[in-house]
Amino acid sequence: MKSVCPSIFLLLIALLGISACTPQPLMTPTPSPTLDGTLRPYPSDTPTQTPVPTDYISPTSSPTITPTFTPVYYNVLPDDDMYAIAFRYGISPQALMTANPTVNPRFMGVGTVLLIPLTPMPDASPSPTIQLSPTPTPLYSRLHEPNCYQDGSGGLWCFVLVENDFPGDLENVGGLVTLTDLESEETRHEIAIMPLNILPTGSALPMVAYFNPPLPRKFNISAQVDVLLPVPEDDDRYLSIMLSEQQISYAEDRLSAQLSGQVSLADGLPTAKSVWVLAVAFDSEGRVVAIRRWEAQSSLLPGRSQTFQINIYSLGAPIDHIELVAEARPQLP
Q: What is the pLDDT of residues 220-235, one digit of tens each?
A: 999 998 888 888 877 8
Judged by average pLDDT, the poorest of 18-32, 224-238, 309-323 is: 18-32
Residue 319 has pLDDT above 90, yes or no: yes
pLDDT more than 70, % of the chain: 69
Task: Supply the pLDDT for residue 45.
Answer: 42
The answer to whether the beta carbons of residues 263 and 300 sit under 8 Å apart is: yes
Task: Supply the pLDDT for residue 72.
Answer: 78
Among 21-25, 50-54, 321-325, the range of highest mean pLDDT: 321-325
Query: In the chain, where are the structural domains located?
Result: 129-230
Task: Supply the pLDDT for residue 158.
Answer: 96
Helix H or strand E segment including 124: none
Amino acid at 301: L
Strands 147-150 and 170-181: unpaired
Which of 90 and 68 is assigned the larger pLDDT? 90
- The whole-chain average pLDDT of the chain stands at 76
Residue 155 has pLDDT above 60, yes or no: yes
Judged by average pLDDT, the poorest of 65-74, 128-137, 210-219 is: 128-137
Residue 326 has pLDDT above 50, yes or no: yes
Judged by average pLDDT, the poorest of 72-81, 133-142, 178-187 is: 133-142
The answer to whether the beta carbons of residues 40 and 258 sit under 8 Å apart is: no
pLDDT more than 90, % of the chain: 44
Task: Supply the pLDDT for residue 309.
Answer: 95
Q: What gap in Å lies between CA 67 and CA 250, rounded to an integer?
A: 39
Could you tell me the end-to-end alpha-carbon distance of the chain, in angstroms, rounded to an integer?
30
Residue 249 has pLDDT above 60, yes or no: yes
Peptide linkage before 214 cis (omega within 30 of 0): yes
What's the rounded mean pLDDT across residues 108-115? 84
Name residues whose C-beta falls within 8 Å of residue 218's C-beta, 6 or more positions apart in sequence.
128, 129, 130, 131, 181, 182, 183
What's the rounded mean pLDDT across residues 85-90? 72
Residue 83 has pLDDT above 90, yes or no: no
Name residues whose C-beta falls within 8 Å of residue 276's C-beta, 6 or more positions apart in sequence.
7, 10, 17, 22, 23, 195, 196, 293, 294, 295, 296, 326, 327, 328
The answer to whether the beta carbons of residues 224 and 138 sit under 8 Å apart is: yes
Residue 314 has pLDDT above 70, yes or no: yes
What's the rounded mean pLDDT across residues 292-318? 94
Task: Supply the pLDDT for residue 128.
Answer: 60
Q: What gap in Å lies between CA 261 and CA 37, rounded to an integer?
A: 11
Q: CATH classification of 129-230, choosing from 3.30.43, 2.60.40, 1.20.950, 1.10.3470?
A: 2.60.40
Helix H or strand E segment including 273: strand 272-282
Which of 126 and 10 is assigned the larger pLDDT? 126
Task: Supply the pLDDT for residue 253.
Answer: 96
Which of 319 and 83 is assigned the larger pLDDT? 319
For the CA atoms of the chain, what is the radius of gyration? Answer: 19
What's the rounded mean pLDDT across residues 98-107? 79
| pTM, to two decimals | 0.62
The answer to whether the beta carbons of residues 225 and 175 sit under 8 Å apart is: yes
Q: What gap in Å lies between CA 174 and CA 27, rounded to an integer?
A: 20
Task: Supply the pLDDT for residue 151.
Answer: 87
What's the rounded mean pLDDT across residues 15-27? 40
Task: Supply the pLDDT for residue 63.
Answer: 41
Task: Supply the pLDDT for residue 243.
Answer: 94
* pLDDT range class, residue 187, cuts 50, 70, 90: very high
Residue 85 main-chain phi, psi, to 5 deg: -65, -45
The answer to whether the beta carbons of residues 135 and 146 sit under 8 Å apart is: yes
Q: What gap in Å lies between CA 290 and CA 11, rounded to an integer?
A: 12
**43: three-class secondary structure by DSSP:** coil
Name residues whose C-beta falls within 8 Å of residue 234's C-beta, 6 or more positions apart in sequence.
none
Strands 129-132 and 218-230: parallel
Kindly list the distances between the CA atom of residue 300 and the CA atoms of 29, 65, 77, in Å, as whole numbers in the listed order: 21, 48, 18
Q: Using CB atoms within 10 A of its CB, is residue 209 exposed (0-12), middle (13-18) or buried (19+)?
A: buried
Task: Supply the pLDDT for residue 256.
Answer: 95
Amino acid at 35: L
